Structure 1
Amino acid sequence: MTEMRYTTLGRTGLDVSRLCLGCMNFGSEQPWMMNDRDASVDLVHEALDAGINFLDTANVYSTGESEEIVGEAVASANRDDLVLATKVYGDMREAPNGGGLSRKHIIDQCEASLDRLGVDYVDLYQLHRWDENTPIEETLAALSYLVESGRVRYIGASTMSAYRLTKALYTSDVEDCSRFVCIQPEYSAVARHEEENMLHVAEGEGLGVIPWSPLAGGFLTGKYEREADPADGTRGAASESVRSYFTDENWAVLDAIRTVADEEDATPAQVALAWLLHQETVTAPIIGPKTSEQLDDDLGALDVSLTEEQVLRIAAPKQPRYPES
């Protein structure tokens, strides 16, 4: 049985599991989601039993449904053992102040997330995107208020440019506001643009890195083939973003991953996750299993130790650049 490993989140003293359970699949907004509340709750319990203590969701995932499911799942768990993360920015209703990063929306949505999760505080509250219409000073002041009032323990950021991330960190220092402790970028063996963007800042500023889509929407599991259309019911069939990975360069990366998987008696998904875990900046990839089998397979990545040559071989077909196109 795989033994869970733990690390600290950035320069904090917060211990998190080396794999983070992503909860975007918990809900019914899209056909590729689990669409089964009981099965979702059971899967969270299995992850907790396996030693995962780090769960990531967002208010916009199925318009709050994901948070409700997570809240139901962790209700019987020891709150002190959990690291619960959620996000704010997206539109929760079609109305003025229904989205964005204003003080009003941030505080209102934090309260709503706490209600849906059934907890008194969240461990990590993250900006889902950058808000061009709200001064970063207002956003950081609102986040600092949430930290000072005990509703939030740490704050972080998701996708944005390195300039904006650096501006936010500088503003926090100048204005004496709470500071981001981590970032959540898209990062995988076929999505490496952040190596030329936010990851430079993360390394220099001591930020934790919790990559989303570490398996590129399932592309790196090896379930898709060059000459075949994605099977009905898969994310590849439903999502253009997944099919955007179907390039010659990315197929070459997958070929390398499959070869290494054969060498290590592992699955392509395990090797793809292990490749991320070998990156010094990465804290915990956010996995998104929908079945017990997928969860077990993801956990097996912790037992895969790659050589430096294998890591470089997987990286070789890609030339990181930002923006990606």
Structure 2
Amino acid sequence: MEQRHLGRTGLRVSRLGLGTMTWGRDTDEHEAAEQLKEFLDAGGTLVDTADVYADGGAEYLLSRLIEDLVPRSELVIATKAGSVPDPDRRFDASRGHLLAALDASLQRLGTDYVDLWQVHAYDPSTPTEETLHALDLAVSSGRTRYVGVSNFCGWQLAKAATWQRAVPGRTPLAATQMEYSLLQRNIEREVLPAALDLGVGLLASSPLGRGVLTGKYRHGVPQDSRAASPYLSGFVQPYLDDRGRRIVDAVATAADGLASSPLKVALAWARDRPGVAAALVGARTATQLRAALSVEALTLPEEIRSALDDISAPVHRYPDQDWSEL
């Protein structure tokens, strides 16, 4: 599998990453082991997790598998901190909470460092400079090699990345993790331009539109799908609308023309967008993951890419439009 630099850093990651959001909850140890084997056999290196996935269960499960399947040094482990199970405060990016969460993640993962540590979301209750100081401390103490953010909007990302580059000795942001697919292109308004300008690599989560772009929902909701899950039905539902159906139909048409599958077409589109360092794929089964990993051989022809761009284009008006059109 092709390896790419993560932003303007020396860290190289596989251009497809393995997501573990369902590990330890919907995906048991046996199935997770099969997925990790498939991923490693395909040349994958980047595994993405978080301290809140299955309340830490995903990190713990990953640590058990690493012991048996792969040397720690051959994986790029990315995890996140900052989300909290508190209805009054969903995010806590204070220095104390973040560093304590990182220590807990390292203990669950059974390692003394992670390759990439990310702030899971912006916390308006904590000064940004305090959050970023926690990232500096994590790097200087050796607990992580690189740092990034997740779910930051454009101005939040630009502020954080600029702050880190303003003074020598601070750790530059290596990555921002955001949802990005043919069904969700809103990051092209501000987040992606900021990331490109500031040398921050994009980790594209949900590149298959939360599973909708595979075409599995074109004729209803399969009983074993995410949309039928009590945990994830609300996650999928927003894309089962008229606009989503038009885009899925276009993807299916493109797949027919290429003798490929909607899954591969949608994933190749997201993987090869400017600024994307890796597309993160989460699968329910090893068979599903194997189908996603087979996209490595596919590059979309320009005319198909352009057609998909057109039908999925987000509406960007003032102040993004060309001023000559005003």
Aligned to 1:237: 228
Between the two proteins, the alignment pairs up a number of residues equal to 312
Q: Does 1:8 align with 2:5?
A: yes
Give CA-to-partner distance per residue, 1:42-87, whole Å, 9 cap, x none: 3212211221110000000010000011111112422221100000
- Return the letter of the residue paired with 2:13: V
**Partner in structure 2 of residue 301 of structure 1:** 295
Query: Deviation of residue 321 (structure 1)?
Result: 4.4
Matched residue type, 2:268: A
Cα deviation code 1:212-243 (max 9, x no counterpart): 11111110111012xx4412231122312311
Q: Measure the CA separation in 1 of the matches of 2:89 and 2:138.
A: 18
**Offset of residue 265 of structure 1:** 1.6
Please state if 1:285 is matched with 2:276. Answer: no
Q: Match for 1:153 among 145, 150, 159?
A: 145
C-alpha distance in structure 2 between counterparts of 1:19 and 1:74, whole Å: 19
Q: 1:252 to 1:99 in 2, by over 3 A?
A: closer
Query: Once the two structures are aligned, what percentage of the paired residues are identical?
Result: 38
Return 5+ residue gaps in structure 2 as ranges. Answer: 318-326
Match of 2:33 among 38, 41, 55: 41
TM-superposed deviation, 1:95 = 11
Kept after mapping to 2: 8 A contact 1:264/1:304: no
1:137-171 residue CA offsets vs partner (Å, 9 max, x unmatched): 11111110110010010001111210111111122
2:159 is the alignment partner of 1:162: no
The amino acid of 2:303's aligned partner reads E
2:190 to 191, 197, 203: 197
- Equivalent residue letter for 2:95: R
| 8 Å CA contact 1:143, 1:155 repeated in 2 | yes
Paired residues of 1:8 and 1:15 also in contact (CA < 8 A): yes
Q: 1:312 to 1:13 in 2, by over 3 A?
A: same
C-alpha displacement of 1:24:
0.6
**Equivalent of 2:178 in 179, 185, 191:** 185
- Runs of 4+ more than 6 Å apart: 95-98
Q: Given the alignment, which residue of 51, 65, 68 partners 1:73?
A: 65
Match of 1:50 in 2: 42
Unaligned stretches of 5+ residues in structure 1: none
Distance 1:322 1:164, change over 3 A: farther
CA distance in 2, matches of 1:164, 1:291: 36
Pair 1:219-2:216 in alignment: no
Letter in 1 for 2:24: G
Q: Aligned residue for 1:127?
A: 119
